Structure 1
């Protein structure tokens, strides 16, 4: 991100300081649009779940990310996913990332490049 783009992003973020949680591994901000948490995979939601257990886990992951988001610092990795969304880390006050917390609580998996079934 260029210094000018970073400044525009910060100004826009100041105008709309509340990022929104889309699902367990995606947030949305006014200046940037949708951004994907790097290094994790959360269950699918919004009608894309393959079974009830995945849908329920997706709802829990989304709710937990919403708890972690306030006060988290967005760190851009400089990479993008297959849908051209910026890959980010949400750095928490304790130094951990939101992704690390979601994985440790069983609400997401470490991303290893392969899609895995969430249905049991």
Structure 2
């Protein structure tokens, strides 16, 4: 990472300096919108996979600032129930109006999913899921959702 006189800069995969400002969107720039559905076996366009993963415009997006219960497979019934609730809530939040996507320091995770913070009016949709008890802040490690495992 390099701090430049013009602001925060970093090296991309090609070794070029890029400004984080090119990726970050400020409140009021919520320009993205499309009808979302739940993903099916073959449907992978503008759909929700689970509480922290969705497809948008042909790209698989992992919400960068949260972790939600696993659905594939859940480790216990309580995780499945909470995971389904997070998935349903994310679908509702994405369909509630225009939003923005902002990249952080890592563009993709090890599975090739784009890592993005999803916001509306400057507020993280991940924070909404956290406040509702359907997600945790992402700290770089998966934590158990089932008691005693």
TM-score by length of 2: 0.63
Q: Secondary structure at the match of 1:87?
A: strand
Aligned-pair CA distance for 1:78: 5.3
Residue 60 of structure 1 pairs with residue 88 of structure 2: no
In structure 1, the gaps of 5 or more residues are: 3-13
Spell out, residue by residue over 1:13-63, the C-alpha distance to the aligned partner (whole angstroms, 9 max, x if none). x9x93321110000102332x1100021100014x1000000000000001
CA RMSD, Structure 1 to Structure 2 (Å): 2.2
Aligned-pair CA distance for 1:64: 0.7
Structure (1 or 2) with the greater helix fraction: 1
Task: List structure 1 runs of 4+ shifted beyond 4 angstroms.
Answer: none
- Tell me how far apart the structure 1 counterparts of residues 90 and 103 of structure 2 sit (CA, whole Å): 17
Residue 20 of structure 1 pairs with residue 47 of structure 2: yes
Structure (1 or 2) with the greater strand fraction: 2
| Pair member with larger Rg | 2
Q: Secondary structure at the match of 1:112?
A: coil
In structure 2, the gaps of 5 or more residues are: 1-11, 13-17, 19-31, 36-45
Aligned length: 105
